[in-house]
Amino acid sequence: MKDEFEFIESIKPEKHHQSSLVLGIGDDAAVYQSTKDMREVVCVDTMIEGVHFTKDTLSAFQIGRKALAINVSDLAAMGAIPRFYLVSIAIPSEWNDHEVAELYRGMKHLAGQFDMDLIGGDTVSAKESLVITVTAIGQVEEHVELYRSKAEPGDAVFVTGSLGSSAAGLELLLDKGREGFFNEEEHQLVKLHQEPFPQVQVGRICADMMVRMALNDVSDGLASEAHELAEASEVTLIIREEDIPFHPALRATKEAVEMLEYACNGGEDFQLIGTICDSKVEELVQKGKKAGVSIHKVGEVQPKSDHPVYIQRQKGTEPLKKNGFNHFR
């Protein structure tokens, strides 16, 4: 990185998608007009080289793409429409100009699919690892409250997509490296880890239903996210093992015990877990089918008990421990 200001000029968007944007990159702060009857939703996540990613498992393009995807997934869990993002990046000398440009190209690629505008950030040097922090901003109607605290006894528990695929893909990448040989099923799992797609469409379906619902994104594993919902709502969640959805590629390559471990404690699937009144769950599933996305009922909500989450298996029901990713464990 020879010149910070030349670099900022090089990543400055050529056009804007959002008509509410008043002033983007080029001043001390971005300015945009808030839409009437809408609430702003803001989230931020940091990725650190060697902790969250390495060049052995992700290309620079994929690192950038995932850095934004993580935040867009949080917006999806709030039912929000993605609008803007800001990027703060600390770049070590080991990263060349092409690689940094690829990071931003990855973010731009995903942002374009949601009409998001890059409106600012910060660029500094780093001594060792690359650090990238993305702030994402979205909007949601003021009556929509898809909060973790909204689950009630009698609700159905649902998840989107398939779970455990990302963790299985990461294991393959750590074993073989990004340039390793993967068969067709393995390649699918690798791609699901490298290029997750945030479930914004499902979040918007949930928002449009205008019913009481709790929602959370699956970033740290099914067990961890289910615990967050249960604890916030002061209820107990029962998850049925037989109903947890797995990708066909995962079923083709792993045993049932491994699949369950990946789903519960692997993380980075960036699907959604939620609760909804049991009488409405089938309507939600059908709305998902019509939109081309899969939604699965996997359990129910019960009154608070000795443990926040239980898993129902063929041999009986047992507590589901919270063993997902934790930075300080």
Binding residue positions for Mg(2+): 28, 45, 74, 122, 217, 220
Query: What is the C-alpha to C-alpha distance for residues 166 and 193, in angstroms, rounded to an integer?
Result: 4
Query: What is the C-alpha to C-alpha distance for residues 215 and 239, in angstroms, rounded to an integer?
Result: 15
Cα separations in angstroms, 261 against 20, 57, 99, 107, 264: 44, 21, 34, 30, 5
Pick out the residues of the known binding site for ATP. 104, 121-122, 148, 219
Query: What is the C-alpha to C-alpha distance for residues 178 and 324, in angstroms, rounded to an integer?
Result: 24
The runs of H, that is alpha helices, within 177-220 are: 184-194, 200-209
Pick out the residues of the known binding site for substrate. 52, 268, 325
Query: What is the C-alpha to C-alpha distance for residues 115 and 98, in angstroms, rounded to an integer?
Result: 25
Residue tagged 């990725």 (tokens): 47
117 close to 111: Cβ distance less than 8 angstroms: yes
Structure token pair of residue 267? 């993380």
Q: Who's near 237: CB < 8 A, 6+ residues apart?
A: 151, 157, 226, 229, 230, 275, 299, 300, 301, 302, 308, 309, 310
Structure token pair of residue 280? 């409405």
Q: Is 18 helix (H, G, I), strand (E, B) or coil?
A: coil
Query: What is the C-alpha to C-alpha distance for residues 106 and 85, in angstroms, rounded to an integer?
Result: 13
Pick out the residues of the known binding site. 28, 45, 52, 74, 104, 121-122, 148, 217, 219-220, 268, 325
